[in-house]
C-alpha cells in the first residue's frame, strides 16, 4: 500500500503543478480587471465618469483589447456612504484583484480608501477628484483640476482679467475641506498680493434659503463673490441675490455648476457667472478638441458633462500606458508603468497628465474661462487659451 500512497502523492503534486501553470497562463491571457469606486446613488451622484471610462474600454475591447486581452471593468457604488466606499474598494481590489482603479468619481472615496490603496500597492487614476485626499495621496492621481485649484483659477480670472476689486467668498464646507479651500485662497493672495474683502465659511449645503448670507455679503461691500456650490445651491443663491435687487454682483464659481441644466435654470446671473472649466468646454459643440469624446459619448447615450470628460480621459491615459508594458499586465507592472510614465498631452486639457512617483498629485492647474450672462441660458467662451496657475 505504501507504493500506492506514494504514487497518489506524486500524482497529486503533478496535478497541483499543472494547475499552477494553468493559473499563470490564464493570468496572462484572461481579462484585465480594472475597477472604480463611484457615487452612483445617494445625495450627490456622478455616474457619467465611470460610464465614460467603460465606453472607452468597450471600444478598446471591440478592437482586440490590450495585447489580445479584454478589459473587464467593474464600477462599484459607494452610495455616498463611508462604509459603502470601504466595502466597494475591498471588493474590487481584494476579491477581484484589479490591476488599477480608473475613472472613479465620489465625494468621499479618496479620504476613506487612500491608505488601503497604499497597503495594497494599487494606483487610482481618478476620473473626478473631489475630497482633499484625492490630491494628497501617493497612490491617487486625478485627471481633473479639482475644486481647490479651480478656486484659485476663478479668483485669478476675477482679479487679474476682469480687474474686479472687493472680492468675497461664501464657502460650503463638508468634512475636512476648509483647510484646502483656505490654501487655494492663500495661493491666489500669494500670486496677486490681494486679499478677500469678506469670507463666510458657514454657508450650508442644501440650504432652503440663502437670503441671510447674501444680505451679509452685500452689506460687506462685495462686488464679486466666489462660491464652491453644487448646482441647486448656486441656483438658490443667485435667486436670493435677484430677490434683493442685487444685480451688479459678479459670480466667480467652479466647474461644479458647469452644465446645460444649470444654464437653463438661471434667468438673472447678475453681472455674469464665470467658471474656469476643468476640461475644454463641452458646450462648444463644434470644437475639434472634444470631437472624439463627443462622438463616443453620443454613441453610448452618455451625458455630455465635465464628469464624462474626466472618466473618458482617465481611461485613455490608462490605455496609453498599459499598451506600452512589455510582458504580463499585472498590478505590479501597471504600477511600475504609471510611476515611470512620460507626461501625456491631450487637447481636452491644458496640463499634460503624469502619475509619477510623487507623494501627492495635484498637477492639473489649467482651466478654460467661460461665462453665463443674464437672459442667455447659454455658456460662452470668454478666452482663446487656457488660464493657468503660475508655476512657483
pLDDT digits (tens, 9 = 90+) for 273-318: 999 999 999 999 999 999 999 999 999 999 999 999 999 999 999 9
Query: For residue 311, how many C-alpha atoms fall within 13 Å in the half-sphere facing its CB?
Result: 31
CA distance 155 to 329: 43
CA distance 262 to 129: 21
Q: Between 211-219 and 231-243, two packed helices, what is the crossing angle to 10 degrees?
A: 60
Determine contact, residues 126/319, Cβ cutoff 8 Å.
Answer: no
Q: What per-residue confidence (pLDDT) applies to 176? A: 86
Q: What percent of the chain has pLDDT over 70?
A: 93
Pairing of strands 71-77, 32-38: parallel
- Give the confidence band of 46 by pLDDT, cuts at 50, 70, 90: confident
| pTM, to two decimals | 0.90
Q: Which helix (H) or strand (E) holds 72?
A: strand 71-77
Of the candidates 245, 253, 262, 274, the one whose C-alpha atom is nearest the C-alpha of residue 305 is: 262
Over residues 80-101, mean pLDDT = 97
- Residue ranges of domains in the chain, CATH in brackets: 32-146+286-361 (3.40.50.2300), 147-277+368-388 (3.40.50.2300)
Kindly tell me if the per-residue pLDDT of 123 is higher than 50. yes
Q: What is the pLDDT of residues 155-187, one digit of tens each?
A: 999 999 999 999 999 999 988 899 999 999 999
Kindly tell me if the per-residue pLDDT of 9 is higher than 80. no
Return phi, psi of residue 76, to 5°: -105, 155
Q: What per-residue confidence (pLDDT) applies to 391? A: 85
- Give the confidence band of 17 by pLDDT, cuts at 50, 70, 90: very low
Query: Count of CB atoms within 10 A of residue 381's CB?
Result: 15
Q: What per-residue confidence (pLDDT) applies to 382? A: 98
Q: What per-residue confidence (pLDDT) applies to 19? A: 33
CA distance 224 to 194: 14
Amino acid at each position: 500500500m505504501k507504493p500506492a500512497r506514494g504514487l497518489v502523492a506524486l500524482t497529486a503534486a503533478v496535478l497541483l503543478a499543472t494547475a499552477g501553470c494553468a493559473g499563470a497562463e490564464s493570468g496572462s491571457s484572461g481579462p484585465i480587471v480594472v475597477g472604480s469606486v463611484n457615487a452612483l446613488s445617494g445625495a450627490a451622484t456622478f455616474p457619467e465618469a465611470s460610464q465614460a471610462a467603460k465606453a472607452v474600454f468597450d471600444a478598446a475591447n471591440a478592437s482586440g483589447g490590450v495585447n489580445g486581452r479584454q478589459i473587464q471593468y467593474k464600477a462599484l457604488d459607494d452610495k455616498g456612504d463611508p462604509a459603502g466606499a470601504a466595502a466597494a474598494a475591498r471588493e474590487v481590489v481584494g476579491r477581484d484583484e484589479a490591476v488599477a482603479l480608473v475613472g472613479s468619481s465620489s465625494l468621499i472615496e479618496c479620504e476613506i480608501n487612500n491608505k488601503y490603496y497604499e497597503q495594497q500597492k494599487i494606483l487610482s487614476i481618478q476620473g473626478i477628484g473631489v475630497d482633499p485626499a484625492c490630491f494628497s495621496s501617493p497612490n491617487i492621481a486625478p485627471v481633473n483640476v479639482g475644486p481647490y485649484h479651480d478656486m484659485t483659477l476663478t479668483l485669478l480670472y476675477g482679479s487679474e482679467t476682469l480687474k474686479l476689486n472687493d472680492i468675497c467668498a461664501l464657502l460650503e464646507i463638508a468634512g475636512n475641506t476648509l483647510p484646502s479651500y483656505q490654501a487655494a485662497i492663500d495661493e491666489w493672495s500669494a500670486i496677486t498680493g490681494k486679499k478677500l474683502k469678506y469670507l463666510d465659511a458657514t454657508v450650508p449645503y442644501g440650504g432652503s434659503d440663502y437670503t441671510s448670507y447674501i444680505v451679509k455679503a452685500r452689506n460687506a461691500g462685495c462686488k464679486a463673490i466666489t462660491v464652491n456650490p453644487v448646482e441647486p445651491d448656486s441656483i438658490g443663491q443667485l435667486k436670493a441675490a435677484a430677490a434683493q435687487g442685487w444685480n451688479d454682483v459678479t459670480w466667480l464659481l467652479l466647474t461644479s455648476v458647469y452644465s446645460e441644466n444649470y444654464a437653463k435654470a438661471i434667468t438673472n446671473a447678475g453681472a455674469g457667472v464665470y467658471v474656469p472649466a476643468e476640461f475644454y468646454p463641452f458646450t462648444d459643440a463644434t470644437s475639434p478638441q472634444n470631437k472624439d469624446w463627443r462622438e463616443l459619448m453620443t454613441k453610448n447615450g452618455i451625458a455630455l458633462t465635465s464628469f464624462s470628460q474626466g472618466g473618458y480621459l482617465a481611461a485613455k491615459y490608462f490605455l496609453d500606458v498599459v499598451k506600452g508594458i512589455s510582458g504580463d499586465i499585472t498590478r505590479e507592472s501597471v504600477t511600475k508603468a504609471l510611476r515611470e510614465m512620460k507626461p501625456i498631452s491631450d487637447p481636452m486639457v491644458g496640463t499634460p497628465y503624469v502619475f509619477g512617483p510623487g507623494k501627492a498629485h495635484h498637477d492639473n492647474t489649467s482651466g478654460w474661462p467661460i461665462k453665463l450672462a443674464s437672459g442667455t441660458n447659454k455658456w460662452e467662451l470668454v478666452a482663446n487659451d487656457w488660464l493657468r496657475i503660475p508655476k512657483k
